[in-house]
Amino acid sequence: MSLALLLLLERLTPTERAVYVLREAFAYSHREIAGVLDLSEANCRQVYGRAVRRITAPETRFRPSPEQQEGLVASFVTAAREGDLTGLEKLLAADVTWWSDGGGKVTAARLPIEGREKVLRFLERGAGRLAAGLDFTTAEVNGGPALLGWAGERLMAVVVFEVRAGLIVRVRAVVNPDKLGFVERQLG
């Protein structure tokens, strides 16, 4: 697999990958891409521009310290519990993406949620209520900061954060009971 393809897979959201590949590999116009992906032509132009910037941007040279990452995650939990949308907004990058994995067994967003405003609406509508009854502990998952949401002795959620330049750029929330059972066994 080429380095360019690996960068494409790692740095871009699914929508950005689709727009970029259709434009670059198949020379589709923005209008044609809009028709294929059921997006507006203007949105396709924006998504394509963002994809190009992400691919060509140099990788972050220095990772934030574990203390900085933990502080950011703690601030996220506090703001989410208090319903402090202004506080959450300050923690999220403009192009943040939220992925949820419910495995079809529990309610979760079916598609990635892209952009600060959409993620804030998602958190405001339901995620905060779901987290209200959980106790959270911090952990390191896949080399990054994470929250483990517990209802008593039962693991209900694993939320992994990717931090860049002092902001949350990606969130992956796993609420799929099958995957959580596996994680629980690994922790036990």
pLDDT at 6: 61
Is the model's pLDDT at 131 over the cut of 80?
no
Residues 44 and 70 in one domain: no
Give every CB contact of residue 134 below 8 A, 6+ residues apart in sequence: 149, 150, 151, 156, 157
**How many CA atoms, within 13 angstroms, populate the side-chain half-sphere of residue 183?**
23
CB atoms within 10 A of CB 120: 17
Q: What percent of the chain has pLDDT over 90?
A: 38
* Mean pLDDT, range 150-155, rounded to an integer: 90
Is the model's pLDDT at 182 over the cut of 90?
no
Q: What is the pLDDT of residues 71-83, one digit of tens each?
A: 888 899 888 888 8
Distance CA 34, CA 121 (A): 24
Burial letters 122-139, b for 16+ CB under 10 A, else e: ebeeebbebbeebebeeb
Domain assignment of residue 166, yes or no: yes
* Mean pLDDT, range 80-100, rounded to an integer: 91
CATH of the domain at 140: 3.10.450.50
Residues 36 and 97 in one domain: no
Residues 94 and 35 in one domain: no
What's the structural domain count of the chain?
2
Give the residue numbers spanning the domain of 178: 66-187
pLDDT interval class at 117 (50, 70, 90) = very high
**How many CA atoms, within 13 angstroms, populate the side-chain half-sphere of residue 139?**
16
* Mean pLDDT, range 27-36, rounded to an integer: 95
Residue 105, classified by CB atoms within 10 Å of its CB into exposed (0-12), middle (13-18) or buried (19+), is: exposed
Residues 161 and 132 in one domain: yes
Query: Is the torsion defined by CA of 91, 95, 101, 107 positive or negative?
Result: positive
Tokens of 88: 């959450």
* Mean pLDDT, range 123-131, rounded to an integer: 69
Instruction: Give counts: helices (H), strands (E), the chain.
Output: 9, 6
